[in-house]
Chains A and B, each alone.
Chain A
Amino acid sequence: MPKFSTKVKTKKGAENEYLPRAAEITKIRDLNPEVKHYTLKFKDGKALEYKPGQFVQVSLFGVGEAPISITSTFERGDDLEIAVRKAGSLTNAIHELKEGEELFIRGPYGNSFPWQEYKGKDILFVAGGIGLLPLRSVMNAIFHHRKDYGKIWVLYGSKCPTDCVYSDELVSWSKIEDVSVLQTVDSPASGWKGNVGVVTTLFSKIEFDPDKTIAYLCGPPIMIKFTNLTLEEKKMRPDDIITTMEMHMKCGIGKCGHCLIGHKYCCTDGPVFTYAQLKTLGAEE
């Protein structure tokens, strides 16, 4: 065997982008049977500064790590809030946690929803299902500065009334001055008095000026596709349609390659893209 004067060395404690911080769950609430909302406080006492639309990598040691959207708004002094849908082993394990227990967070990562540059504009939010979770961050930022913006519409579609998330907040948003909240469901339950149909059916109920409106979309790919087409038909410019993408993000720092859409890393170049940008990424959407 060869003798080497040097051996494998291990460097511990080096500054490392992959290292998460512990955060205590201070509050849990159920948004629907599948989705729970977590309010978090970092154990080291340092708050996380983040922007609307960014995400964090959330982990539990021994289970794994996954990207989760931030749903709270730093702008109005919120603690970090995330909402997690049961979808795999990690999210199932997170759902088992109780208040006072810990989650591990690194980030925030990604770009953010542009919103401050749209002062004076009318705003159209279109969300489908849990697409409302990441949109809530920019919605509350804009509502926090309500007087700086024109008319605001919130169009929200879900599969059925029990799937709807933030029901209470939808009611309180509808009470803000000059904010119209319109809801629809694909399949109504008994007692549902609202609209039935996909979210694009709500467009016949509102009138907006395509030249002075900014649209924020989030939802399943099929909803994004048809909403983009409807908004284009209504003469909105692709630059004014903003969406956030869900991809399989592993590292969060533009290395691991999982979340590439064309040549753009969803985690560092996105997750927020305009419809105009998505069009240039080729057919790869």
Chain B
Amino acid sequence: MKKTHIATLKKERFDDFISALARLQKVVAPVARGNGQFAFEPVVSGNEIALDYIPTILPPKKYFLPQHETLATFDTTKGQQMEPVVAYEKMVIFGVHTCDLAGIQSLNMIFSERPKDVNYLIRKSAITIIGYECNDYCDEYASCRLVHNHTPNGGYDLFFTNLGDKFIIHINTQAGDDIIESAGLFEPAQAADLKALEQLRSDKRKLFANEVPVVHENIPEVFAKSFNSKVWEDLGKKCLACGNCTNVCPTCYCFDVIDEPNLDLKTGKRYRRWDSCQSETFAQVAGGESFREERGARQRHRFYRKFKYPMNKFSRLFCTGCGRCSRTCMAKINLKETLTQLVKEQAMTDLKAGNQ
């Protein structure tokens, strides 16, 4: 008999599933943190998990590319020696929304490109990903329809969709299948379940409408013409250069490499930590010259790194539509609004050119 790649799990068995999984390995999932905020944290039972959550404060990239990561340790007592280090942990991430799955896929492309980044890849190989579908918008900041991330595009081992009294699960990998098999709590999907899933997806097509007046395919074109737009100057006046937007972005991966000696001054570590293109020193070279002195130029750089440059290199937008940058911005710089302004400005320019 051909093995099915779809399974179901009754709601009342969800807690058993997570508890069983957490006995075998570390499980992290979205947990409510109060004030309408959520975070990926270790859990031991299903009851701790906030299934109905808006994008977490930090995306799951924190498990793939930790804020602080030792790359090597050094010891200068017995001749100068340096030892490379990779710290990793086997874990399951449960409840990853489709926007964040896209974020992990983007990071995979960056760090798998040669020369490969072994630290990232070793850590990635120890992580199992269970995705979780959004049946409705999280809030007004999301722009997942624009970038086609409101429905799953792979990048998971298992994918859960909430059908009310049960979950329907897409089994995408051997690792995912092993979890299903060993749990012994899952049932094969019936025709009615598949129909319910189909209905849900069709309802979503009506529910999710493009959030910005431009189609996905035309975004790079808009950016190709917007380098000298006044929009960047306006953003520069608002921006506080705090770097919140890049910290919470699921596809921002820029880092700094720093040496930290221990108190003995003989041993120590070389580590990397998240860095932000929004800080003035980011593109500064020895001697003090900075290549992006203006905040507007730095904001522009951030937008181009989401909507234009990765299209040239990977044929992929690096904005996942999660809305975190807009949600977290203290100066209320809003990604949807900024894109809309660029599109409108472009339309005006085209109109003027047509009239002449």
**A→B interface (CB under 8 Å):** 2, 4-20, 22, 59-66, 85, 87-88, 91, 102, 104, 221, 246-248, 250-251, 253-263, 282-284
B286 near A12 with CB under 8 A, answer no
B285 near A248 with CB under 8 A, answer yes
- In the assembled complex, how far is the CB of residue A150 from the closest CB belonging to chain B, in whole angstroms? 35
- In the assembled complex, how far is the CB of residue B233 from the closest CB belonging to chain A, in whole angstroms? 13
- In the assembled complex, how far is the CB of residue A85 from the closest CB belonging to chain B, in whole angstroms? 8
A250 near B256 with CB under 8 A, answer yes
Does B118 reach chain A (CB closer than 8 Å)?
A: yes
Does B17 reach chain A (CB closer than 8 Å)?
A: no
- In the assembled complex, how far is the CB of residue A91 from the closest CB belonging to chain B, in whole angstroms? 7
Interface of B is mostly: mixed
Residues B282-314 near A (CB distance < 8 A): 282-287, 289, 291, 301, 304-305, 308-310, 312-313
B257 near A65 with CB under 8 A, answer yes
A19 near B22 with CB under 8 A, answer no
Answer whether A102 and B80 are a contact pair too, CB < 8 Å, given A17-B115, A255-B111. Answer: yes
Q: How far is the CA of A260 from the CA of B90 in the complex (A)?
A: 33
Q: How far is the CA of A16 from the CA of B283 in the complex (A)?
A: 25
**Known contacts A8-B89, A87-B286, A263-B304; can you find 8 more A-B pairs with CB under 8 A?**
A4-B26, A20-B82, A85-B286, A88-B286, A248-B284, A250-B257, A260-B301, A263-B312
A263 near B259 with CB under 8 A, answer no
Sampled A-B contacts (14; CB under 8 Å): A9-B87, A22-B80, A65-B257, A104-B80, A221-B289, A247-B283, A247-B285, A250-B255, A255-B111, A256-B255, A258-B283, A259-B283, A263-B304, A284-B301
**Chain B: interface residue count, which band?**
35 or more
**A-side contacts of B25, CB under 8 Å:** 4-6
**B→A interface (CB under 8 Å):** 22-26, 42-44, 71-72, 74, 76, 80, 82-91, 110-111, 113, 115-119, 122, 227-228, 253-261, 265, 268, 270, 272, 275, 277, 282-287, 289, 291, 301, 304-305, 308-310, 312-313
B88 near A62 with CB under 8 A, answer no
**B-side contacts of A8, CB under 8 Å:** 87-89
B122 near A14 with CB under 8 A, answer yes
Closest to B289 in A: A221
Most B CB within 10 A of own CB, among A18, A61, A262: A61
Closest to B74 in A: A61
**A-side contacts of B282, CB under 8 Å:** 248, 258
A61 near B122 with CB under 8 A, answer no
Residue of B44, B80, B286, B309 near A263 (CB, 8 A) is B309
Q: How far is the CA of A253 from the CA of B253 in the complex (A)?
A: 14
Most A CB within 10 A of own CB, among B26, B227, B258: B26
Residue of A19, A22, A62, A246 near B285 (CB, 8 A) is A246
B44 near A2 with CB under 8 A, answer yes
Q: How far is the CA of A282 from the CA of B223 in the complex (A)?
A: 11
- In the assembled complex, how far is the CB of residue B21 from the closest CB belonging to chain A, in whole angstroms? 11
Closest to A16 in B: B84
**B-side contacts of A85, CB under 8 Å:** 286
B23 near A5 with CB under 8 A, answer yes
- In the assembled complex, how far is the CB of residue A158 from the closest CB belonging to chain B, in whole angstroms? 15
Answer whether A9 and B80 are a contact pair too, CB < 8 Å, given A15-B118, A16-B71. Answer: no
**A-side contacts of B259, CB under 8 Å:** 59-65
The 5 A-B residue pairs with the shortest CB-CB distance, nearest first, are A257-B254, A263-B309, A87-B286, A16-B84, A62-B261
- In the assembled complex, how far is the CB of residue B288 from the closest CB belonging to chain A, in whole angstroms? 9
Residue of A17, A19, A66, A104 near B117 (CB, 8 A) is A17
Q: How far is the CA of A50 from the CA of B272 in the complex (A)?
A: 27
- In the assembled complex, how far is the CB of residue B342 from the closest CB belonging to chain A, in whole angstroms? 15
B87 near A10 with CB under 8 A, answer yes
A19 near B84 with CB under 8 A, answer yes
A16 near B285 with CB under 8 A, answer no
- In the assembled complex, how far is the CB of residue A255 from the closest CB belonging to chain B, in whole angstroms? 6
**B-side contacts of A19, CB under 8 Å:** 72, 82, 84
Closest to A19 in B: B84
**A-side contacts of B71, CB under 8 Å:** 16, 18
**B-side contacts of A221, CB under 8 Å:** 289
Q: How far is the CA of A255 from the CA of B113 in the complex (A)?
A: 9
A16 near B118 with CB under 8 A, answer yes
B257 near A62 with CB under 8 A, answer no
A255 near B24 with CB under 8 A, answer no
- In the assembled complex, how far is the CB of residue A257 from the closest CB belonging to chain B, in whole angstroms? 3
**A-side contacts of B285, CB under 8 Å:** 246-248
Most B CB within 10 A of own CB, among A15, A251, A257: A257
A12 near B85 with CB under 8 A, answer yes
Q: How far is the CA of A261 from the CA of B312 in the complex (A)?
A: 13
B82 near A6 with CB under 8 A, answer no
Residue of A62, A65, A251, A283 near B268 (CB, 8 A) is A62
**A-side contacts of B253, CB under 8 Å:** 255, 257
Q: How far is the CA of A172 from the CA of B256 in the complex (A)?
A: 42
**A-side contacts of B305, CB under 8 Å:** 257, 260
